[in-house]
Chain A
Amino acid sequence: MDLIEVSGLTKRYGGIVALSEAQFSAWAGEVHALVGENGAGKSTFIQILSGAVHPDEGKLQLEGQPYSPINPDAAQALGVAAVFQELSLIPDLAVEQNIWFRREPRTALLTVDGKALRRKTLELFDKYRFPPLDPARELRRLTLAERQLVEIAKGLAKDPRILILDEATSALPAKEAEWLLALTRQIAAEGRLVIFISHRMGEVRAIADRLTIFRNGSTVASHVATAVSDDEIVTQMIGRPLVRLYPERKATATERIALKVDDLRSGSRLTGASFELREGEVLGVGGLQGHGQRELFQSLFGASRATGSIELWGKPTQIANPRHALIGRDGIALVPEDRPGQGLLLTKSVRENLTLSVIRRFTDKGFLSRGREAALVKEMVDFLRIKAGTPEQLAGTLSGGNQQKVIFGKMLLTEARVLLLYDPTRGVDVGTKGEIFQLMRDLAARGYAILFYSSDLPELVHVPDRVLVLRSGRVAATLGAGRVSEEAILRAAVLDEAA
């Protein structure tokens, strides 16, 4: 019998239809993947399942009983727990407090029992073989990947019958992602249901028993994973066949050096990186997570303090803060890792997010030209296919992948020609991924210089011209054309061999 069965599920936000008569059914003991384009309604669906959002219409059944949780507590009481895409963590609480939030063990005085809390946390980490995490650390000091692990722990701590993972792997480095995939199988083997949302076909392939495809808020199809090909899935997801994911790689790099970095150091992780990025080049950055990639991007953008020398288009440059970095065509623009933290103002509209940092481009003798602004915004929204009701929709209400597109558009509008792309396709659907890669190559052909980090190895292999592999905060190897492969990157990342 189906553990969960949903039909006719509809949810509207004003004029935007997030779900329209969606159907879904899954049984205990399976990993059920939920796939679809950005804005297809996946997150809305799981928010309804977990009681955070109420549907307008629809019939939900849990084990044959009507199921309409009025809040996340109610869903949890019935054994449904979600690992949310936007994370549900409290920045000012410690890791362990977050994991057991509102379910903390208590003393006779009704205060939280710190010792028991620690013990339960360590037991949980042990039981599921968690990657190393310090239970006492305050959450706001953690990296995005570590936060994602905490969110996963929080979901597991509820010991749910239905565990929902909404793009839980997208922020994890390769090893941790693999660990999570294996864990997912284990949980399903215990007779529980895992609903798994991901834009990475490889992951879906590796673990899903069945999969359901959403498009524009409706269910397109449900398949047994082994009975359907990747192409069929993608075609049903985006409504047309995907011609190719990775673009053709024509070398467009010139001799001119756009960015020259010498002995860049920041914090304890970036310990002296040196490299050159040329005009028209896409330069990949790889390596195990935590070996200075983030610090490299942050310090090049002036968002964290660093020493060392940076030359931009041949001129020595001091980048003291992000505003410094952004100036004009000779500037540097960044697609950051932390969307709500650095990239987006969630309570501002799509239009404002796109144009706030480049307001100068729309002013005419000090006056704002609304017309010019509207035209550019429309161009960007169409170009990136940002799925928003109107440009006035608040950025915080966009789907995760569409938020990422807005950040991309914001960066493009700055006109800076040195682009720092830190995992720009995180949470982006396959169709758009292909477009973003094509866009990167097109920009390179127009003389842009692009530094590109990705947590997805195949992207590093197929998109950039060369790949820098960072190890312990330095460039351990530079893999040129023809020498880039997943294996070569991994080897350079872990082995002490000069390349």
Chain B
Amino acid sequence: MSVSVAERPAETEPARHLAWRGWLLDRAPFLVACLMLLVVVAIYGALQKGVFTLDEINLDTAAAMTLILAATGQTIVLIRGGIDLSIGGVISLGTVIAATQFSDDPLTVVMWSALILAIGFAVGALNGLLISALKLQPFLVTLASWSILNGIAMLILPTDGGGVPGWWIGFSYNQILGLASPVWMLIGLIIFWYWFRATRLGITIQATGSNEKSAFLSGVSIARINVVTYGLSGLFAAAAALYLTTQTGAGSPTIGKDYILPSVAAAVIGGVSLFGGRGHLLGTVIGALILTLIGNLVFVLRVSSYWQPVMSGVILLVAVLASSLAEKTARGQEQ
């Protein structure tokens, strides 16, 4: 073997696979979610008058917002390749603190709100720290902190109750340009997402979920990423709690559990991979909207409300099927 100057080897690869097929396959779960949303909206619109109005959009977004906020945090954690059950505890605790501490004075409200958000972040950061330091399963760590936070919430407010100022409850009725504040929140959230996923932090979180070992070899501090990821999840859960009190006007030490599995379901329906590395907030938002609209659907269909979890389950199955099919086909095409 003799070696002289480095020469560029000639191209030897025959034609590549068609790129658009890969593009489409990658987005198949998301597109299926969009399709399902269209179907749900179509049925809803056929049964109910006035579905295709701004008012309805305002109302539905307001109804879905708690889940959307909780699921945003969950999405970040899932993309990291983890899961966060503790958001149930953070939400419960958040609502009871708000319902017992908020007074008519806006300054008090702002201060306690900030504290609730800080608690959310701290709880999440602690989760992340435990997961990395003790090399524990995220499932178990966050399950434990859910239980602990739930207990604390019970100690503060044993039964549903307390209250928040009237102007706080009116939050979701404020409108600008015909759009209610939750819609503006959603727009802000999506803008945040497009920014976040393009930052180094966002990319690093995704990369760590995609392949932790490679991320480590590339210099990523896994512990730091876990702290930030779960911290963000806790922060969004706390935001969900605050928003929830504008809807219920009260605190509840048990309400958080209603958001744990739906937050995961919303993300999965929207095409977020449970194995990490892949997912987009738009999908999660669509998932959350589907889950919320199913509630409306059950109502206008005048059937037992027990049909709601049944329908959610079916939709979840369809979504999971779509992602696994896409995954398999993509595997077949790889290499």
Q: Could you tell me if B14 and A269 are in contact, using CB atoms closer than 8 angstroms?
A: yes
**Total residues of chain B contacting the partner, CB 8 A:** 46
**A91, B277: Cβ atoms under 8 Å?**
yes
> Separation in Å of the B290 CB from the closest CB of chain A?
25
With an 8 A cutoff between CB atoms, is B135 at the interface?
Answer: no
A179/B333 in contact, CB under 8 A:
no
Q: For B200, list chain A residues within 8 Å (CB).
A: 102, 104, 106, 110, 112
Q: Are B210 and A91 in contact (CB under 8 A)?
A: yes
Contact with B along A271-310 (1 / 0, CB 8 A): 0000000000000000011110010001000001100000
Is A52 among interface residues, defined by CB-CB distance under 8 A? yes
The CA-CA distance from A202 to B209 in the complex, in Å, is 39
Q: Does B175 contact A (CB under 8 A)?
A: no
Chain A residues with CB below 8 A from B209, complex form? 92
Q: Given A111-B195, A130-B8, decide whether A104 and B214 contact each other with a Cβ distance below 8 A.
A: no
B278 in contact with A92 (CB, 8 Å):
yes
In the complex, what distance in Å separates the CA atom of A119 from the CA atom of B7? 22
Contact A84/B7 with A93-B207, A112-B199, A112-B200 known, Cβ cut-off 8 Å: no
Across-interface contacts of A203 in B (CB, < 8 A): 1
Q: Which residue of A lies closest to B201 (CB)?
A: A110
The yes or no answer to B174 lying at the interface (CB within 8 A) is no
Given contacts A72-B219, A89-B214, A203-B1, contact A141 B334 (CB under 8 A): yes
A92–B210 contact, CB under 8 A? yes
Give the CA-CA distance A175 to B214 in the complex, in Å.
Answer: 27
**B137 within 8 Å of A by Cβ?**
no
Restricting to B1-52, which residues have a CB under 8 Å from any CB of A?
Answer: 1-17, 22, 26
Q: Would B219 and A104 count as touching, CB distance under 8 A? A: no
Query: Are the C-beta atoms of B198 and A128 separated by less than 8 Å?
Result: no
Task: Choose, from A7-15, A180-188, A218-226, A408-416, the stretch at the interface.
Answer: A180-188
B191-210 toward A: CB 8 Å interface, digit per residue (1/0)?
00001001110011011011
Look across to chain A and name the residue whose beta carbon is closest to the beta carbon of B22. A141
**Among the listed A88, A178, A206, which residue makes an inter-chain contact with B218, where contact means beta carbons less than 8 Å apart?**
A88
Query: Is A207 at the interface (CB under 8 A from chain B)?
Result: yes
Chain B 101-144 per-residue mask, 1 if CB under 8 angstroms from chain A, else 0: 00000000000000000000000000000000000000000000
Within 8 A of A (CB), among B285-335: 330, 332-335
Question: Which of B7, B203, B216, B221 counts the most chain A CB atoms within 10 A?
Answer: B203
Asked if B9 and A90 make an inter-chain contact with CB atoms under 8 angstroms apart, the answer reads no
CA distance A267 to B335 in the complex (A): 11
Chain A stretch 47-106: residues in CB contact (< 8 A) with chain B: 52, 71-73, 76, 84, 86-93, 97, 101-102, 104, 106
A103-121 at interface with B (beta carbon < 8 Å): 104, 106, 109-112
A152–B217 Cα distance when bound, in Å, is 14
User: Which of B2, B12, B17, B218 contacts A175 (CB under 8 A)?
Assistant: B12
Cβ contact within 8 Å between A268 and B15: yes
Known: A104-B203, A206-B3. A52 touches B11 (CB 8 A): no
* A296 to B187 alpha-carbon distance, docked (Å): 50
Q: Is the CB of B11 within 8 A of A132?
A: yes
A493 to chain B, nearest CB (A): 9
Partner of A179 from B8, B204, B221, B277 at Cβ < 8 Å: B8
Known contacts A97-B203, A338-B335: A88-B3 contact under CB 8 Å: no
A144 interfacial contact with B, CB 8 Å:
yes
A164 to chain B, nearest CB (A): 12
Kindly provide the distance from the CB of B233 to the nearest chain A CB, expressed in whole angstroms: 20
A244 within 8 A of B: no
Check A129 against B199 for contact (C-beta < 8 Å).
no
Residues of chain A within 8 A (CB-CB) of B255 are none
Query: Known interface pairs A109-B195, A206-B2. Does A90 touch B14 (Cβ–Cβ under 8 Å)?
Result: no
For the complex, is A400 an interface residue (Cβ under 8 Å from B)? Answer: no
Find the A residue at minimum CB distance from B11. Answer: A132
Q: How far is the CB of A12 from chain B (nearest CB, A)?
A: 20
Chain A residues within 8 Å of B211, by CB: 89-91
The residue in chain A whose Cβ has the minimal distance to the Cβ of B197 is A111
The proximity string for B residues 58-72 relative to A, scoring 1 for CB distances below 8 Å and 0 otherwise, is 000000000000000
Q: Which residues of chain B are near A433, meaning CB under 8 Å?
A: none
CA–CA, A73 and B221, complex, Å:
9
In the complex, the answer to whether A129 meets B219 with C-beta atoms within 8 Å is no
User: Within the complex, what minimum Cβ distance (angstroms) separates A409 from chain B?
Assistant: 24
Cβ of B57 < 8 Å from any Cβ of A?
no
- Pairwise interchain contact A102-B199, C-beta atoms closer than 8 A: no
Nearest-neighbour CB distance to chain A for B279, whole angstroms, equals 10
A136: nearest chain-B partner, CB-CB: B19
B215 within 8 A of A: yes
A338 to B335, CA, bound (A): 9
- What 10 pairs across the A-B complex have the smallest Cβ distances? A88-B217, A111-B198, A182-B6, A73-B219, A175-B9, A92-B210, A129-B8, A92-B277, A72-B219, A90-B207
Interface residues of B (CB under 8 A from A): 1-17, 22, 26, 195, 198-200, 203-204, 206-207, 209-211, 213-221, 277-278, 330, 332-335
Can you offer 21 A-B residue contacts whose CB atoms are under 8 A?
A52-B216, A72-B217, A88-B217, A88-B218, A89-B214, A90-B215, A93-B207, A102-B200, A102-B204, A138-B26, A144-B335, A173-B12, A178-B9, A179-B6, A182-B3, A202-B1, A206-B3, A207-B3, A288-B12, A289-B12, A290-B12
Given contacts A102-B200, A129-B8, A298-B335, 7 further A-B contacts (CB under 8 A): A111-B199, A130-B8, A131-B9, A141-B333, A178-B3, A186-B5, A268-B14
